[in-house]
Amino acid sequence: MRTLVAIPVYNEQKYVASVLEKVRQHAEHILVIDDGSKDATPQLLANFPVEVIRHSTNRGYGHSLMDAFRWAAVDGFDWVITMDCDEQHEPASIPAFLEAASEGRADVISGSRYLIPVELQEAIGSPPPERRGVNEIITDELNSRLGLTLTDSFCGFKAYRVAALAGLTLDEQGYAFPMQFWVQAVAAGLRIEEIPVKLIYNDLQRSFGGPLDDRDVRLAHYRRVLHCELKRCQRRLPSSAMQDVTADCGS
């Protein structure tokens, strides 16, 4: 089972070296997608034996993930594991994703910070209530519409079977990427499994950038992307998924 670990980064000079040192203990093949960093991140990456895709400008989180998927497909990997570079995803959890992948039950193995109740785990920090609230609202809507049982729809720590991604037509560039992905995954009949990962939230100042820092704007944006993707895939989804979908999806 040939596996690539892909790490999108943007201005991560504070964390990138320590994260890569730890990832290298668990992965042979590492790809970093530098999404137009303007700090010392590019110079720090040069110190590590990893593959790098460099965007000249910031293109968005979703774009970085799509670059990772294309790289994994072209280079013949069986699985791609994605994780963030802000020390909120523990590289020590990589073997758990590899074990789950090797069991062959799933096409998507999604980390969940909430599969184990927070009060029963050794959490480090906690997300701002408005971020946890948006996660809960969107996760509940995805579950209701798509028949899923997710507990954490936004966790970026995931393993994807590369062959299963081939039938998807992903094009969402930004942070709303999970909305599009979950709809297409269900429409394509992908098998989805969650595994627990530690809840780590060590930087309350992390920003989405621009208007998305506003909770209501962000929630409305996520819902619009979700509802437009539901419309696009409606022929392959249960009719219950389309209830009260009224988003204007014009270009």
Q: What is the pTM of this model?
A: 0.94
Asked, for residue 248, whether it belongs to a domain, the answer is: no
Asked, for residue 180, whether it belongs to a domain, the answer is: yes
Reported residue count of the chain is 251
Ramachandran quadrant class, 25 (left: phi over 0; alpha: psi -120 to 50; beta: rest): alpha
pLDDT band at 203 (very low <50, low <70, confident <90, very high): low
Which pLDDT does position 212 carry in this prediction? 87
Strands (E), the chain: 3-9, 29-34, 51-54, 79-82, 108-112, 158-161, 192-196
H/E element, 144: helix 129-146
Asked, for residue 45, whether it belongs to a domain, the answer is: yes
Q: How much is the average pLDDT of 124-138?
A: 84
Which pLDDT does position 246 carry in this prediction? 78
pLDDT band at 251 (very low <50, low <70, confident <90, very high): low
Asked, for residue 51, whether it belongs to a domain, the answer is: yes
101 CB-near residues (< 8 Å, 6+ apart): 1, 3, 79, 109, 159, 161
Is the pLDDT assigned to residue 121 strictly greater than 60?
yes
User: 122: buried, middle or exposed (CB in 10 Å: 19+, 13-18, 0-12)?
Assistant: exposed
The rounded percent of the chain whose pLDDT value lies above 70 is 95
- The runs of H, that is alpha helices, within 147-251 are 162-165, 177-187, 215-232
Q: What is the CATH number of the domain that holds 202?
A: 3.90.550.10
Q: What does the mean pLDDT of the chain come to?
A: 92
Domain enclosing residue 121, as ranges: 3-242
Is the pLDDT assigned to residue 162 strictly greater than 60?
yes
Q: What is the pLDDT of residues 45-88, one digit of tens each?
A: 999 999 999 999 999 999 999 999 999 999 999 999 999 998 78
- The helix/strand/coil state of 206 is coil
Q: Indicate the number of domains in the chain.
A: 1
Asked, for residue 250, whether it belongs to a domain, the answer is: no
C-alpha span between 217 and 122 (Å, rounded): 32
Asked, for residue 251, whether it belongs to a domain, the answer is: no
Beta bridge partners of 6: 31, 82
Q: How much is the average pLDDT of 225-248?
A: 92
Asked, for residue 247, whether it belongs to a domain, the answer is: no
Q: How much is the average pLDDT of 201-223?
A: 82
Lowest-confidence pick of 27-36, 60-69, 163-172, 208-217:
208-217
Asked, for residue 47, whether it belongs to a domain, the answer is: yes
